[in-house]
């Protein structure tokens, strides 16, 4: 389903966003990155920043204490 | 009224300018011009006018040169209201300093009973949280109202969002950015990010569909839901300002009261003008607007402001 995956559980803001950004930049436009984020600060901040960078969040699933996002690289 | 800036209100000093002409300085004029007496004999602080604390790097370079030339100690200070102050300037050199600053388009600020230089955060131009163009508003207030005489000092500020870095609750008149969020069911996927993104618990998620249940009473109108929503189901309906009146810090701090919950940009100049009119008509000399409001009554002020504040329905309404 996704071309790449990054598990950011336990990674603090804004390092989690920077890691997501770097991963996305290494991918090709249109490819899908799976991002796993903790609830709380990470889920409050990282999706906003991903959007502001121009990428698209195509799927969000809550799984207990964390979120599984699918992000399409711009 | 006590003036803390220049104690001697009557002294006129004859100063030789350029070694030839003699010019009289009236210390009463000086205080309106942002020259603040220092402990040290003959030395003053020259406060520059930097609305919103923003300067071009080009201007900053030129200011640095002037500060380096005229500050006897070679130091500047960032004032609490975002303006740059050149310290240790000899009053005999005021005309030269002002002339050199004038050449690069840099004005001197003010002290005393008048509208002061507005302060502002970065605003929506570059700050991701920013909802209003606070810098543009600060510039407008500076150009339109700076120096207008009032019974006592009149401080304004602009915050771009409810985090309120510009401390609008401590201003004589403060403007804090808000956005009215609106939600469209069709584009919502029930992902629940908005309810996670909301720091105020104003959005709950429906246990079955995941779709938001919005509580406008808890909402601070910060726009986090709009920014976090992956599908643009949350959209900005309109942007505006919460208006707060009568705050101050100092020896006896007072918290400003909210008098308008959603004022659009274009009504801000009118709101300030009408407020200054009310203050000048009702305030006693040396009385801050917060104390004038306490004495005369908030209702009196609100009635005066009706033409501006009417039809500015609360956000979320």
Q: How confident is the model at residue B14, as a pLDDT?
A: 45
Q: Which of B189, B210, B230 sits opposite A47 (nearest CB)?
A: B230
Is residue A74 included in any domain, yes or no?
no
Q: How far, in Å, are B17, B63, B67, B93, B117 from residue B84 at the CA level?
A: 25, 9, 10, 18, 12
Report CB contact under 8 Å: A44, B128: no
DSSP B262: E
**Do B128 and B70 share a structural domain?**
no
Q: Which two tokens stand for residue B285?
A: 């000399």
Q: Which domain holds residue A23?
A: 4-66
Q: Categorize the per-residue pLDDT at A1 as very low, low, confident or very high, splitting at 50, 70 and 90.
A: confident
**Do B288 and B259 share a structural domain?**
yes
For chain A, the residues whose C-beta falls within 8 A of a C-beta of chain B are 39, 43-44, 47-49, 51-52, 56-62, 67
Is residue B200 included in any domain, yes or no?
no
Pairing of strands A32-38, A66-72: antiparallel
Is residue A43 included in any domain, yes or no?
yes
Most B CBs within 10 A among A17, A45, A53, A60, hence the mutation to make, goes to A60
Q: How many structural domains is chain A composed of?
A: 1
Report CB contact under 8 Å: B193, A39: no
Closest to B6 in 3D by CA, of B19, B22, B33: B33
Contacts of A57 in chain B (CB under 8 A): 193, 230-231
Is residue B66 included in any domain, yes or no?
yes
Closest-CA distance, A44 to chain B, in angstroms, reads 4
Is residue B218 included in any domain, yes or no?
no
Last-in-domain residue among B103, B127, B142: B103
Is residue B274 included in any domain, yes or no?
yes
For this complex, say whether ipTM is above 0.90.
no
Is residue B206 included in any domain, yes or no?
no
Can you tell me the distance from the alpha carbon of B193 to that of A9, in angstroms, rounded to the nearest whole number?
Answer: 17
**Do B74 and B171 share a structural domain?**
no
Q: Which of A48, A58, A62 sits opposite B192 (nearest CB)?
A: A62
Q: Which domain holds residue B274?
A: 119-180+238-309
CATH of the domain at B71: 3.30.70.3340
Q: If DSSP states are collapsed to H, E and C, what string results for B2-64?
A: CCCCCCCCCCEEEEEECCCEEEEEEHHHHHHCCEEECCCCCEEEEEECCHHHCCCHHHHHHHH
Check: CB of residue B287 under 8 Å from CB of residue B296: no
CATH of the domain at A17: 3.30.110.40
Q: Which of A5, A13, A19, A57 is catalytic?
A: A13
Report CB contact under 8 Å: A52, B189: no
**Do B95 and B128 share a structural domain?**
no
Is residue A44 included in any domain, yes or no?
yes
Closest to B175 in 3D by CA, of B216, B131, B128: B131
Is residue A11 included in any domain, yes or no?
yes
Can you tell me the distance from the alpha carbon of B107 to that of B201, in angstroms, rounded to the nearest whole number?
Answer: 46
Chain B residue closest to A47 (CA)?
A: B228
Is residue B189 included in any domain, yes or no?
no
Q: How many structural domains is chain B composed of?
A: 2
Q: How confident is the model at residue B112, as a pLDDT?
A: 87
Check: CB of residue B165 under 8 Å from CB of residue B127: no
Can you tell me the distance from the alpha carbon of A3 to that of B12, in angstroms, rounded to the nearest whole number?
Answer: 79
Q: Tens digits of per-residue pLDDT, A14-68? A: 999 999 999 999 999 999 999 999 998 999 999 999 999 999 999 999 998 999 9
Is residue B68 included in any domain, yes or no?
yes
Q: Which of A39, A59, A61 sits opposite B196 (nearest CB)?
A: A39
Can you tell me the distance from the alpha carbon of B184 to that of B6, in angstroms, rounded to the nearest whole number?
Answer: 60
Is residue A71 included in any domain, yes or no?
no
Residue A59 annotated among the catalytic residues of the structure:
no
Is residue A72 included in any domain, yes or no?
no
**Do B62 and B142 share a structural domain?**
no
Check: CB of residue A41 under 8 Å from CB of residue A13: yes
Q: How confident is the model at residue B8, as a pLDDT?
A: 38
Check: CB of residue A22 under 8 Å from CB of residue A71: no
Is residue B293 included in any domain, yes or no?
yes
Is residue A39 included in any domain, yes or no?
yes
**Do B247 and B295 share a structural domain?**
yes
Low-confidence ranges of chain B (pLDDT < 50): 1-22
CATH of the domain at B130: 3.30.413.10
**Do B136 and B39 share a structural domain?**
no
Q: In this predicted model, which residue has the larger pLDDT, B278 or A1? A: B278
């Amino acid at each position: 389903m996704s071309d790449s995956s990054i598990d950011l559980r336990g990674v603090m803001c804004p390092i989690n966003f920077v890691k997501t950004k770097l991963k996305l930049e290494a991918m090709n436009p249109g490819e899908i990155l799976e991002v796993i984020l903790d609830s709380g600060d990470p889920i409050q901040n990282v999706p906003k920043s991903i959007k502001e960078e121009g990428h698209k969040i195509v799927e969000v699933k809550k799984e207990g204490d964390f979120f599984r996002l699918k992000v399409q690289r711009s | 009224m006590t003036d803390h800036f220049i104690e001697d209100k009557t002294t006129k000093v004859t100063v030789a300018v350029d070694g030839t002409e003699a010019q009289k300085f009236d210390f009463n004029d000086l205080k309106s011009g942002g020259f603040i007496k220092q402990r040290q004999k003959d030395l003053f602080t020259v406060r520059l006018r930097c609305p919103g604390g923003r300067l071009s790097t080009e201007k900053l370079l030129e200011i640095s040169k002037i500060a380096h030339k005229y500050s006897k100690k070679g130091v500047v200070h960032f004032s609490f209201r975002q303006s740059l102050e050149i310290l240790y300037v000899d009053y005999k050199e005021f005309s030269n300093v002002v002339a050199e600053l004038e050449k690069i388009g840099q004005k001197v600020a003010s002290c005393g009973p008048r509208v002061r230089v507005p302060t502002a955060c970065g605003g929506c131009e570059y700050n991701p949280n920013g909802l209003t163009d606070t810098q543009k508003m600060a510039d407008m207030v500076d150009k339109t109202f700076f120096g207008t005489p009032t019974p006592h000092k009149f401080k304004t500020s602009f915050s771009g969002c409810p985090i309120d870095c510009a401390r609008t609750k401590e201003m004589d008149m403060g403007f804090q950015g808000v956005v009215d969020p609106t939600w469209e069911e069709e584009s919502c996927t029930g992902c629940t990010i908005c309810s996670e993104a909301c720091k105020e618990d104003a959005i709950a998620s429906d246990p079955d569909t995941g779709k938001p249940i919005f509580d406008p009473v808890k909402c601070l109108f910060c726009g986090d839901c709009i920014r976090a929503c992956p599908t643009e189901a949350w959209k900005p309906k309109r942007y505006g300002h919460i208006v707060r009146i009568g705050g101050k810090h100092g020896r006896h701090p007072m918290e400003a009261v909210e008098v308008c919950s959603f004022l659009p940009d274009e009504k801000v100049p009118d709101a300030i003008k009408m407020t200054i009119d009310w203050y000048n008509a009702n305030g006693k000399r040396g009385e801050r607007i917060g104390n004038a409001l306490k004495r005369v009554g908030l209702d009196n002020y609100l009635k005066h402001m009706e033409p501006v504040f009417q039809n500015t329905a609360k956000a979320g309404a």
